[in-house]
Each structure stands twice: as structure tokens, then as C-alpha cells.
């Protein structure tokens, strides 16, 4: 195995691990921490603010690492002779969904910076008929992240199928 191939394996591993850290962290945050903060707001106030800040820092680092490693991996695949139209369409969809997710994270941070630092807040009250159409921003981010995992697996399957069929 050449050094360039080993480097690509390392970059792909970092990409996958960082994605797992972000999505796993988001699941833990939504399913464990937020319900705990909401059920014991006065007991956890001193703990929740630093935790929120640290989670935002980790998320920001994940976005940077995912972007850098994703660009490297994308160019590696695009220079291959085994790229098909279905691969390109799926890759474009993955990039689009990623950009939407990053934009949601960025707008969420901008919204939080404008507010006074408090406990994690629920989303503003939305009429009940719209709740099923527009889930909260953190849930949308999580769902998009899971969708990106699925698109990554589809990309891998398309690429592998193309290799095996030639």
C-alpha cells in the first residue's frame, strides 16, 4: 500500500469518526441532556451553560473537519475512472443536504447569541397543525445528519458496484 493510499484511509477514518461524534453527540444531547435540564432547571443551571458552550465548540470543530476531509475524499473519488452519473447525482445530493445542515447549525448559533444566556430553550410555540411539518431545528439537524450517513452508504455501494461490474 502506497503512502497516498494510507493517507486516504486515514482521512476517510477521520471523516467517519467525526461524523459519528457529531451525530452521536446530538442524539445524546437531545435524548438525555435536554430532558434532564428541563426537568431540573435550577439544579443544573451552573452545569448546563458550560456544557452548551462546549457542545457548540465541538460541533464547530466537527463542521471544519468534515468539510476538509469531505473535500479531499470527494476529489479523490472524482478523479477515478469509476465515477458514474448516479454517483455524481448522489454526491451532489449529499453535498446539498450537508450545506443545509451546516446552515441550520449556523442560524441556530446566531439565534442563541442574540438571546441572554439561559438554559436551553424550547422552540417558539408553533401552531399544532404545523408541528408535524416543521420539527425543531435540532431535530432537523439530527435527521439531516442521519440522512447524510445513508447517502454516504449509498455512495459507497454505487462505487463498489461500479468497480465490480467492470
CA-based nearest residue to 12, from 59, 64, 76 = 76
CA-based nearest residue to 144, from 9, 7, 8, 26 = 26
Query: Model confidence over 107-127: pLDDT tens digits?
Result: 877 776 665 445 445 544 544
More confident residue, 165 or 94: 94
Query: Model confidence over 113-163: pLDDT tens digits?
Result: 665 445 445 544 544 444 455 568 888 999 999 999 999 999 999 999 998
- Give the whole-angstrom CA distance, residue 110 versus residue 104: 10
When the pLDDT of each residue in the chain is averaged and rounded to a whole number, the result is 84
Amino acid at each position: 500500500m502506497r503512502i497516498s493510499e494510507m493517507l486516504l484511509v486515514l482521512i476517510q477514518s477521520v471523516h467517519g469518526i467525526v461524523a459519528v461524534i457529531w451525530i452521536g453527540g446530538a442524539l445524546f444531547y437531545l435524548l438525555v441532556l435536554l430532558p434532564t435540564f428541563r426537568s431540573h432547571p435550577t439544579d443544573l443551571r451552573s452545569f448546563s451553560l458550560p456544557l452548551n458552550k462546549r457542545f457548540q465548540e465541538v460541533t464547530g470543530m466537527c463542521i471544519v473537519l468534515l468539510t476538509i476531509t469531505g473535500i479531499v475524499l470527494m476529489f479523490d473519488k472524482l478523479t477515478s475512472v469509476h465515477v458514474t452519473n448516479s454517483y455524481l447525482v448522489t454526491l451532489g445530493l449529499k453535498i446539498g443536504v450537508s450545506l443545509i445542515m451546516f446552515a441550520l447549525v449556523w442560524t441556530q448559533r446566531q439565534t442563541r447569541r442574540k438571546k441572554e444566556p439561559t438554559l436551553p430553550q424550547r422552540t417558539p410555540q408553533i401552531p399544532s397543525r404545523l408541528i408535524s411539518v416543521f420539527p425543531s431545528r435540532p431535530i432537523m439537524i439530527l435527521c439531516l445528519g442521519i440522512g447524510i450517513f445513508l447517502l454516504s452508504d449509498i455512495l459507497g455501494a454505487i462505487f463498489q458496484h461500479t468497480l465490480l461490474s467492470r
